[in-house]
Amino acid sequence: MSAGTATVFDPTGFELPDGQRRVLRWTLYIGYFALVAGVFHGLAQALSYAQIDILKYFPFLESYYQGLTVHGVTNALILTFSFSNAFLPLMISRALSQKLVSSLLWTSFILMVLGNVLVFYAVTTNQASVLYTAYAPLQAHWSFYVGLVLIVVSTWVALLNMIIVYRRWRGAHPDVRVPLLAFISLASYAMWFLASLPIAVSFLGFLIPWSLGLIDKVDPLLNRTLFWFTGHAIVYAWLLPAYVSWYALVPRQAGGKLMSDTLTRFVFILFLLLSIPTGFHHQYTDPGISTGMKAVHAVLTFGVFFPSLATAFSVVAALEMGGRARGGRGLLGWIRRLPWGDASLTAQILAMVTFVFGGITGLINASYTLNLVIHNTSWIPGHFHMTVGSAVGLTLVGVAYWLIPYLTGRQLWGRGLALASSWVYTIGVLIFARGMSSAGLEGMPRRTYMAQAPYYQSQWDLGGMLTGIGGTLMFLGIIFFFIVIVATILVGKKGAAPKDIPWSESLHGPVSEGWAPRLDRIGVWSLVAVVLILIAYSPWFVSNLPPRLISPGFSIW
């Protein structure tokens, strides 16, 4: 073999069995249903910033916090993990031409359903209005914590399925480089597995026994620290499946190629290493954590900014190749030539554009001193609706526009409405975030039902109004999405669906010589990640263990 050539696995001619497709499809439906169920309270919340109170029309809600818990849990947790539990195993199975393990597929699905049932029970009966952050000493009903644990375990089972598929393939192909799509899918969930362990300790070790009355008191700071230990990395567990699409699928959809196979693997390894040891950037204002440790996490947060920056250059290059291949000329002429009529691609490009602002606001959050200005203000929801709420949410919408047809065998229904959904949503979220950010700088608080706040200040009028207008457009965008997906499933034209996933070729690589194959050793990289995590977290745990079990539970709703 000559230098620079690649030993590439040929995955053509494989189709997933119908039974497995069906489980994947229903897993996805849970997620997309959760998305739609969650946006109703989103609308109420956004309008409340504009001093419009529609919560009185939600008679089944006993408090604003109950609604906010529904919003956060459905849109940030259930949508994302249901999607990943279906999407990542599908990607690895397709990339390696291997069937999934049916029993594990079912187990993961059933755990996800059970978890949802328990969480649904706890939240709808107003026994768990603790928000998606579930901070102790607010105490929820045990079914809330157990339900969330089951959802997390379902992600572990999905990962196990992927690992087994990978090992089977590796046994048959010992000297071939693992295809990029399989590698980045596996790396995404490997990172999440490591990241999920602290929250598992918090829930299983403390919050569940406490909510069952087996222990009387918990250590609020310890649980909060364990929460953010997982809680920062969780945002990358949401983001990386979107990046899998941006790197490995979007270039093809745009008529271009992925820039570099090696760079892409490198980016995912950086996420594996740096996503987790950064949680203290959510706790800059918490007492009981030394300034030095906060500074270490701040620096590492700037480190984890880098792979996203590399992603920005890489995905724009892929889009540019696509636009130029389609006849685009000049500095920016390629943008116009992108296939803007493709609803799936358009949603994802708009997700990327919004993420530029999500990234910039993230950098501001991460800055130790600037954080003091914006922490706990509406600036933060401004930030996260441009990250999880757009970079991720809109990408999941865009992927649905090819994935649901692919899995159901039915053509996408209503392309015009599908296109409108992501444009309306994007215009909405940019207006919304402009309102939230500017009013946040003026001190408008987050997690507050502003339509009833006695301390409302008129200087928030403009920001609040923009939040209300933008939030209404976002709501409409998701409703359009819902109509398109339900109609596709029920009345989409049979047989006219995509037959395969949109694979992308890469311009450079994969390379089989030199050090490049070593990049594929996820196990070794995971060990390095553990070392970094120990450096970043053990000093705090050494001085804060054993736990100080001082606080009883509070249910203030």
| Active-site annotation, residues | 232, 236, 383-385, 446-447
Q: Does 363 bind ligand HAS (CB under 6 A)?
A: yes
CB of 556 to ligand HAS, least distance (A): 19
DSSP three-state, residue 514 = coil
CB nearer to Cu ion: give 232 or 252.
Answer: 232
How many angstroms separate the CA atoms of 367 and 331, rounded? 34
CB nearer to ligand HAS: give 163 or 195.
Answer: 195
Q: Does 350 bind ligand HAS (CB under 6 A)?
A: no
Instruction: For 60-98, give one letter per residue: b (16+ CB within 10 A) or e.
Output: ebeebbbbbbbbbbbbbbbbbbbbbbbbbbbbbbbbbbb
The answer for residues whose C-beta is within 8 angstroms of residue 472's C-beta and 6 or more apart is 43, 46, 47, 428
CB nearer to ligand HAS: give 301 or 408.
Answer: 301
Give the binding-site size for Cu ion (rule: CB under 5 A).
1
- What pairing do the DSSP bridges indicate for beta strands 506-508 and 258-260? parallel
Q: Does 375 bind ligand HAS (CB under 6 A)?
A: yes
Instruction: Yes or no: say if 342 and 282 are a contact pair by the CB < 8 Å rule.
Output: no
Residue 238 near which of ligand HAS, Cu ion, none (CB within 5-8 Å, type-dependent): ligand HAS
Amino acid at 28: L
CB of 270 to ligand HAS, least distance (A): 11
Q: Which of 93, 76, 72, 73 is nearest to 11 (CA)?
A: 93
Binding mask 158-197 for ligand HAS (x = CB under 6 A): ----------------------------------------
Q: Does 441 bind ligand HAS (CB under 6 A)?
A: no
CB of 228 to Cu ion, least distance (A): 8
Q: Does 388 bind ligand HAS (CB under 6 A)?
A: yes
The answer for residues whose C-beta is within 8 angstroms of residue 423's C-beta and 6 or more apart is 346, 350, 477
Give the binding-site size for ligand HAS (rule: CB under 6 A).
36
CB nearer to ligand HAS: give 16 or 140.
Answer: 140
Distances (CA, A) of 349 to 28, 306, 397, 472, 547: 22, 20, 12, 22, 46
| 339 burial via Cβ count (<10 Å: 0-12, 13-18, 19+) | middle
* Angle at the Cα of 499 from the Cα atoms of 498 and 501, rounded to 5 degrees: 80
DSSP three-state, residue 203 = helix
**Phi and psi angles of residue 154, each rounded to the nearest 5 degrees, phi first:** -60, -30
Instruction: Yes or no: say if 83 and 28 are a contact pair by the CB < 8 Å rule.
Output: yes
Q: Does 440 bind ligand HAS (CB under 6 A)?
A: no
Residue in this structure with the two tokens 């950086």, named with its chain if needed: 270
Residue in this structure with the two tokens 């397709």, named with its chain if needed: 94
Residue 384 near which of ligand HAS, Cu ion, none (CB within 5-8 Å, type-dependent): ligand HAS
Query: Considering only residues 312, 453, 479, 489, which one is a binding residue for ligand HAS as defined by CB under 6 A?
Result: 312
Q: Does 448 bind ligand HAS (CB under 6 A)?
A: no
How many angstroms separate the CA atoms of 220 and 145, rounded? 16
Instruction: Yes or no: say if 60 and 40 are a contact pair by the CB < 8 Å rule.
Output: no
Q: Does 255 bind ligand HAS (CB under 6 A)?
A: no
Query: Considering only residues 49, 65, 206, 384, which one is a binding residue for ligand HAS as defined by CB under 6 A?
Result: 384
Residue in this structure with the two tokens 């311009």, named with its chain if needed: 507
Residues 85-144 that bind ligand HAS (CB under 6 A): 133
Binding mask 392-421 for ligand HAS (x = CB under 6 A): x-----------------------------
Q: Does 294 bind Cu ion (CB under 5 A)?
A: no
Q: Which of 277, 362, 378, 278 is nearest to 312 (CA)?
A: 362
Q: Does 71 bind Cu ion (CB under 5 A)?
A: no
Output the six-digit token pair for 88.
Answer: 């990542």
Query: Considering only residues 6, 176, 200, 335, which one is a binding residue for ligand HAS as defined by CB under 6 A?
Result: 335
CB nearer to ligand HAS: give 154 or 361.
Answer: 361
CB nearer to Cu ion: give 232 or 294.
Answer: 232
Residue 366 near which of ligand HAS, Cu ion, none (CB within 5-8 Å, type-dependent): ligand HAS
Q: How many Cβ atoms from other residues are within 10 Å of residue 341's Cβ? A: 10
CB nearer to ligand HAS: give 98 or 361.
Answer: 361
Query: Considering only residues 199, 380, 407, 451, which one is a binding residue for ligand HAS as defined by CB under 6 A?
Result: 380
* Angle at the Cα of 161 from the Cα atoms of 158 and 165, rounded to 5 degrees: 145
How many angstroms separate the CA atoms of 405 and 398, rounded? 12
CB nearer to ligand HAS: give 39 or 388.
Answer: 388
| Span interacting with ligand HAS, options 166-174, 195-203, 376-384, 522-530, rule CB under 6 A | 376-384
Binning the chain into helix, strand and coil, the percentages to the nearest 5 are 70, 5, 25
Q: How many Cβ atoms from other residues are within 10 Å of residue 263's Cβ? A: 18
CB of 502 to ligand HAS, least distance (A): 17
| Span interacting with ligand HAS, options 202-210, 383-391, 456-464, 494-502, rule CB under 6 A | 383-391
How many angstroms separate the CA atoms of 273 and 236, rounded? 12
Binding mask 215-234 for Cu ion (x = CB under 5 A): -----------------x--
CB of 375 to ligand HAS, least distance (A): 4
The answer for residues whose C-beta is within 8 angstroms of residue 465's C-beta and 6 or more apart is 50, 435
Query: Considering only residues 92, 352, 404, 424, which one is a binding residue for ligand HAS as defined by CB under 6 A?
Result: 352
Q: Does 446 bind Cu ion (CB under 5 A)?
A: no
CB nearer to ligand HAS: give 64 or 109.
Answer: 64
**Interface with Cu ion (CB under 5 A):** 232
**Interface with ligand HAS (CB under 6 A):** 133, 235, 238-239, 281-282, 301, 304-305, 308-309, 311-312, 315-316, 319, 335, 349, 352-353, 355-356, 359, 362-363, 365-366, 371, 375, 380, 383-384, 387-388, 391-392
